Amino acid sequence: MSVVELVKKVLFMEVLQGLALTFRHMVSPSVTRQYPLEKREPFPGSRGLHALVRDAETGKERCVGCGLCAAMCPSQCIHIYTSEGDDHKKIVDRYEIEVLRCVYCALCVEACPYAALTLTDHFEYCGYTRDEFYYTKERLLENWDKYMAGEKGMNYIKNFWRPRSSDFAAPSPERKGP
């Protein structure tokens, strides 16, 4: 044992250093938030409760029932039931998500070619029964009205819905390398 180590041992230096650290933390400001009294604004693009986009012009869902979102969903928690309309167009009779099985990966949002589905930034939801977490088409459209209507929803789609057609544009001639 060196002399320095011996002096440190005799003077209990490590214990004193530990106490100094504890004391520093006791007087420094707390970083803990008193949730739910204190809340932080959710970050844009947060992956919370699902919503079906309501088309501003028609007032109906944008969804055309193509089923891509359900095919991509790793949890297999999206269920879509369609029928054929008079003009041979698909009608989305039922669009349902079992939210309790969702892992919030947002693959459904990315798979949708019509920007018809979003994840809102609403994450504080709870319930006593499983049924409360079974979201029907009507409830998903209500979520859009409640949490994403107007500019907010459009900004979400603009910034977080990928890929867009511009992502497939040919690279400019000036661009070099991979």
Determine the Cα–Cα distance for residues 116 and 34; give it in Å rounded to an integer.
36
Of 83, 84, 68, which is closest to residue 117 (Cα–Cα)? 68
Burial class (CB in 10 A: 0-12, 13-18, 19+), 134: middle
Q: Is 148 in the site for ligand SF4 (CB under 6 A)?
A: no
Given 102, 140, 141, 148, the residue binding ligand SF4 (CB under 6 A): 102
Type of residue numbered 170: A
Question: Closer CB to ligand SF4, residue 104 or residue 160?
Answer: 104
Determine the Cα–Cα distance for residues 112 and 133; give it in Å rounded to an integer.
22
Q: Nearest distance from residue 86's CB to ligand SF4, in Å?
A: 20
At residue 146's C-alpha, the angle toward residues 133 and 83, to 5°, is: 60
Q: Is 141 in the site for ligand SF4 (CB under 6 A)?
A: no
Given 49, 51, 54, 97, the residue binding ligand SF4 (CB under 6 A): 97
Per-residue binding letters, 45-84, with ligand SF4 (x by CB under 6 A): ------------------xxxxxxx--xxxx-xx-x----
Q: Nearest distance from residue 143's CB to ligand SF4, in Å?
A: 13
Given 49, 108, 140, 148, the residue binding ligand SF4 (CB under 6 A): 108
34 in the Ramachandran plot: left (φ > 0), alpha (ψ -120 to 50) or beta?
beta
Q: Is 140 in the site for ligand SF4 (CB under 6 A)?
A: no
Q: Nearest distance from residue 46's CB to ligand SF4, in Å?
A: 12
Determine the Cα–Cα distance for residues 111 and 74; give it in Å rounded to an integer.
12
Binding site for ligand SF4 (CB under 6 A): 63-69, 72-75, 77-78, 80, 97, 102-108, 111-112, 114, 116-117
